[in-house]
Structure 1
Amino acid sequence: MITTDGTPNLPGWIDLGSPDPDASAEFYGTVFGWSSEAMTNDQAPEDDPDQGRYLMLSKDGGTVGGIGALQDPSAKSAWTVYVRVPDIEATIGSCESLGGSVRAPRMQVGSEGFLAQLTDPSGAEFALWQPEGFTGLGRACQDDSLLWVELYTQDPEAAKRFYGGLFGWQTEAYTMPEGTYDMWTTNPGVGTDAFGGMMQISPEMPVQQETWVPYFMVADTDATLARTVAAGGSVLMPATDAAPGRLAALADPFGARFNLLKPAPTM
């Protein structure tokens, strides 16, 4: 499962690239009750103090993610999943040797750590975080925080080879009435060690490109969906009961996708 204890080679942070970070923070504050705090950038030029401005999001004192401005005006707003690694340069090298590419090379973030932005061979974007002062998520697998990450891909077998080689991830089949679902895990056979899943893209899905999408755990899927719509978001898949629980697929006002899940009692 996704944890806050600094375990390497697991998702450890998420952030949102937004054309209007303050508007996005207001939206997610309405939906999940998150508060936001702007981090100062000591290296910003005097004539542009907001350059590199970053909002830290939290719930009940635990960090749940961040929001930064899109650096490319033509880019689409989206959530990025960061995998925590012990050696970012070595992981970048492995990514390239496995057929992935580097969108943004290793960059130091003050005394907090190092990040890099990568793309897998099929086109799904993700990022790395090597912690120093900041380990990442302070709240996870609780209501209104990150619960699960899901890869949508045209080629599940290629994804298994790439992420298995890069992070040592394995997959385990989870059988549902709708069919079999591949779960990402570090320890097959131990359900609590699963932290994400993989869906093969089909024509009827709301997601049609290679991408990672976060699931946020909620106490009431329908109520959270209603707040999303009232705040200007949209519904990609209405609230539905499934084996894992009651879930929904949504998008924020700028089109960034996220999913909800109220876990079933047996999960």
Structure 2
Amino acid sequence: MELTKIINKIKDYGKLVMFSHTIFSLSFAAVSMILAAKGLPTLSTMFWILVCFMAARTGANAINRVIDAEIDSRNPRTATRQIPKGEIKKIEVIIFTSVCFIIMLFGAYKLNLVCLLLSPVALFLMIIYSYTKRFTFFCHLILGVTCACAPVGAWIAVTGKISLIPLVMGVANTLWVAGFDIIYGSQDYDFDRANGLHSVPAKFGVKNALFISMMFHVITLVCLIFIGILSIELSLIYYLGIAVIAALFVAEYNIVSPTNLTNVNIASYSINQLVSIVLLVFGLLDAFI
């Protein structure tokens, strides 16, 4: 019986922190790490980068659920989440988040001094993001910047310094995440406006929001191409991957429209999980072949 409870609790936390969404920034972090090291870094560096990445994204998603619990309880789409339903207590998640963030800080310490000094900036972004929808429609971009800490941080973890490539990769990561988050947020247009919440769809309408999202993803492609130009390790295979990503973006905007948002989850999450996998596979293949 106790084992069953433990397994169920693990499943609940897996849903709480959206563990399946780990892939969203993992690809950018992995490609950035490989490019920074011009191959594979040491096993120790790879291990602590992974520790920092997993602890940070898990803690960020967990604290988001705590901060948004009251809003989630009022939104029919999110009212069935674990905290609004009372399946997990807020204090449990706060303790869980604190442990994740402590692990992240320790991982940053094990990497290098620059990572440790910059880690509070990442922590601040991971916490403040959840509040931004209360006062600005730039919330999508702030989420993107938070996710972009992964590739920039991975580069710093390997080299101890910053350069143009990780910055461009950070911009690509930011606009990619912001773009599909705008699509996802379109389904809450009515709820956001009725409850005084801010988002690009609530500010500009769903039609204009989808156009803004599309432009973000166009710029993402431009940034990815620029990364290929800047990186001598990347060539044809990488560009083939960008072509596949472009095709996925086209598919994404062909299955959603202002009058038909039934495929929002597929467009925002499922397709972009494929985008991340394509970037990871083609980026790593090109870097090693």
**TM-score using structure 1 length:** 0.34
Which structure has the higher relative contact order (CA within 8 Å, separation 6+)?
2
Which has the larger share of helix? 2
**TM-score using structure 2 length:** 0.32
Which has the larger share of strand? 1
Higher alpha-carbon Rg = 2
